[in-house]
Amino acid sequence: MKRVLLKLSGEALMCKDTNLSIKQEMLDHFATEVKDAHSMGVQIALVVGAGNIIRGKTFAGANEETRIEGDYMGMLATIINSMALRSKMQSHGLDVRLQSALSMDQVAQLYIRDKALSGLEEGKILIFAGGTGNPFFTTDTAAALRASEINADALLKGTNVDGVYDKDPNEHADSKLIKEASFLDVINKELQVMDATAITMCKDQNIPIRVFNIHEPGNLRKVLAGEQLGTTISAAGAS
């Protein structure tokens, strides 16, 4: 893979023991993983969620107007997470560019595709914040959109489990890991991977998705090196 987009959830940054929204040790872990992967010559962009701070849909409940406000609050929260990740990556010696879908000149560049592409070609790490810049779209969809715009070879979704299961592994001891699936399998079986809009976009642009455990040290490098970790979602699916 020459160029990838890595999607991280906001919850991945949390310290669950103390309920801190952002845990420094997790930032260090992700910075180390990305630095190691970047040393392989792979161009890397990231999208980080905001579930550790706020979820627009949960905040709003059934109120549509409040949902719009909540979604914008979520976009701002992704910028907070992205700034924290940028700062930590820079402390690890990485050259990082933060671009936001929302205009916030004091803390981030406005997202411009040409600047993003030139930054990747120059060897910079790109972090895309602010979601899509529009309400009603998740950061999963933002990740699929940016992956499409930068012509990524794959969208990598780092999770706290080993991949996609046929049932929730936290609730069912007999759940089975699905190693390969097609985009249509994910949509038709309603597998909990990403939202349907994100899956459909990756399907239309033929961008494979790899879901794997990002918390295991070295897994990002292994995925980029071609090891069959986690679950691969593609047009072909299981062979």
Three-state secondary structure readout of the chain: CCEEEEEECHHHHCECCCCECCCHHHHHHHHHHHHHHHCCCCEEEEEECCCCCCCHHHHHCCCHHHHHHHHHHHHHHHHHHHHHHHHHHHHCCCCEEEEECCCCCCCCEECCHHHHHHHHHCCCEEEEECCCCCCCCCHHHHHHHHHHHCCCCEEEEEECCCCEECCCCCCCCCCCEECEEEHHHHHHCCCCCCCHHHHHHHHHHCCCEEEEECCCCCHHHHHHCCCCCCEEEECCCCC
Rounded to two decimals, the pTM is: 0.94
Task: Give the pLDDT score at 135.
Answer: 93
For residue range 131-141, list pLDDT tens digits in order.
999 999 999 99
* Domain membership flag for residue 137: yes
* Domain membership flag for residue 47: yes
Q: Report which listed range, 55-59, 168-172, 180-184, 188-192, is most confident.
A: 180-184
* Domain membership flag for residue 226: yes
Does residue 239 register a pLDDT over 60? no
* Domain membership flag for residue 185: yes
Q: Write out the binding residues.
A: 7-10, 51, 55, 71, 132-139, 159-160, 165, 168
Does residue 93 register a pLDDT over 60? yes
Give the structural domain span for 93. Answer: 3-234
* Domain membership flag for residue 50: yes
Give the residue, 89 or 66, on which the prediction is more confident: 89
Looking at the structure of the chain, the number of domains it has is: 1
Task: Please report which confidence band the pLDDT of residue 235 belongs to, taking 50, 70 and 90 as the band edges.
Answer: very high
For residue range 101-155, list pLDDT tens digits in order.
999 999 999 999 999 999 999 999 999 999 999 999 999 999 999 999 999 999 9
CATH of the domain at 59: 3.40.1160.10
Q: Write out the binding residues for ATP.
A: 7-10, 51, 55, 159-160, 165, 168
Q: Write out the binding residues for UMP.
A: 71, 132-139
Task: Give the pLDDT score at 130.
Answer: 97
* Domain membership flag for residue 29: yes
* Mean pLDDT of the region 78-104: 97
Task: Give the pLDDT score at 128.
Answer: 98
Q: Report the range of poorest mean pLDDT among 58-62, 135-139, 153-157, 201-205.
A: 58-62
* Domain membership flag for residue 239: no
* Mean pLDDT of the region 76-101: 97
Task: Give the pLDDT score at 181.
Answer: 95
